Structure 1
């Protein structure tokens, strides 16, 4: 099929227009840069999911596939010049199931999560993520537990099933007890599903706090630059001997301790901890350096050695739910 004679001129003019307009928007409009970075972030994750799906499909739906997703996502922080500092990783209980609770600010939480994600740990996610194209399928193959927040009854029944499975199958669960993203620089009240789960299974709760992103990311101001994020792992909170009646006080106590640390690490000085970072945005970084940092992520060991064994709940081919996000 041949283009009509003037078509090439139109194509050339459009190309020249884009060649001029896009750089102009990039350097003159912070909002345009924000939307471009967000679009690339989401698009890159979808692309990485496409690459991960064939590898994960070999095992089928299996929690061990989460290691593959983590390996493929570790380099993303370099692309955005985000420093991730991890402190307190020694607080993870060795060779024991537990429930992780973490604050939820934005989709950038994925960067901090991948930095500290222990072996055989599956996040809790809203069911809508399942329909997010390749990302949804990759998460399903990795054993992510999807919940329908509108059907509380089904979620509670599956929560009970998960509680009975944690100990026999030696699995960890990552929950965002706020239930939704929070951009106000604090923490929303905690929903109690994660705490009921921990009490029913009689396993520890491990709080993880990610510092505020306000210095480098703000959705309201349409600002997305390079910056620093600290991830603090707090000492585990035991639940042995607790009953459902103790859950409200337990949730309040954990939230208070997390909020205190959140305020501390969101305002304290720089430095300390484990640092994996680039000083500048990847958008201004030489390609050779980017390639080196990307390849280096595939040699990083996991935070915690994976534990042998399986989780039948995550390998039966159906989609479990949960009472919390």
Structure 2
């Protein structure tokens, strides 16, 4: 009986392997499914460790989560080439902003996440099963994107927390995932926060995933991701009137870096700093 089940299992795995080789759609679905399952299982196993070591919700748990997630890249054949980590070494809190491409960004985030750093995420992620639990335990700051007044109140509290706890805060200024190989126009919330708290903005840029990951083409293979942490942009002395200029400056710098890391020609940008040819993310 057991031998029969083993034979059936081997046959199913063989068939799945053949289908993955023949069909990009099947290959993509299986790899994404495995990634999601890995996130759920890893979160379930890591959550008790966080509770035992640190006793509950705290940004200190990110060290444990980071150690677990950094193993994922070996299962998916991803390699990271990182430059500029020394730019995280600022005295006191800071706002870290980076481009946001896909659900795989978590691997890139945990590859370089500095100590004592909290992330800002949409509130819906809190209800994503064990993944929601583990990011809650990791001190992630949840924002209701559908209620602007609520989001502003949260960001105001974040500014106070940065000042009192000396934490860095990681924000995706595009506001949503975007796998076009370009940047979406930046929302200004992170930059208002930086000016309000008078802390530096540290831009982080990941090269485009489009050579190995593209949902529209059912592409998900191994690949290399270049990451560059850019020098901090100071905000001391700036006022809310300077936020637009700060946002545009950061956008231009990050977009030029994105194209350089991705091996593409330097982009054309409008005077406002927004892309002239951006398309909605997928």
TM-score, normalised by the number of residues in structure 1:
0.77
Please say which of residues 259-268 and 96-105 is displaced more in the overlay: 259-268
2:38 matches 1:44: yes
* 1:173-322 matched pairs, under 5 angstroms: 173-267=169-263
| Higher RCO (CA 8 Å, separation ≥ 6 residues) | 1
Pairing 1:122–2:118 present: yes
Q: Distance in 2 between matches of 1:165 and 1:130?
A: 20
Counterpart of 1:230 in 2: which secondary structure? strand
Q: Deviating runs (4+, > 3 A) in structure 1?
A: 10-17
SS at match of 2:64: helix
Q: Which piece of structure 1 moves more, 160-169 or 18-27? A: 18-27
Q: Deviation per CA, 1:183-224, whole angstroms, max 9, x where unpaired? A: 111000000110011100000000000000111111110011
Q: CA deviation at 1:18?
A: 2.3
Larger radius of gyration: 1
Three-state SS of the structure 2 residue aligned to 1:86 is strand
Say if 2:143 and 2:154, in contact at 8 Å, map to a contact too.
no
Change in 2 beyond 3 A, CA 1:156/1:224: same
Residues 285-316 of structure 1: CA distance to partner in whole angstroms, max 9, x if unpaired? xxxxxxxxxxxxxxxxxxxxxxxxxxxxxxxx
Q: How many residues align?
A: 262
Q: 1:14/1:153 Cα in 2 relative to 1: closer, same or farther (>3 Å)?
A: same
Counterpart CA distance in 1 for 2:228 and 2:9 is: 47
Q: CA RMSD in A?
A: 1.9
Query: How do 1:105-116 and structure 2 match up within 5 A?
Result: 105-116=101-112
1:24 maps to 18
SS of aligned partner of 1:179 = coil
Q: Is the CA contact (8 Å cut-off) linking 2:144 and 2:151 kept in structure 1?
A: yes
Alignment partner for residue 63 of structure 1, among 56, 59, 79?
59
What is the distance in 2 between the residues matched to 1:170 and 1:20? 53
Q: CA deviation at 1:159?
A: 0.8
Q: Which ranges of structure 1 fall in alignment gaps of 5 or more residues?
A: 1-6, 269-325
Q: 2:94, 2:194 within 8 Å by CA — same for their partners in 1?
A: yes
Structure 2, unaligned runs of 5 or more = 265-282
For residues 7 and 123 of structure 2, the distance between their equivalents in structure 1, rounded to whole angstroms, comes to 44
Please say if residues 215 and 227 of structure 1, whose CA atoms lie closer than 8 Å, have aligned partners that are also in contact: yes
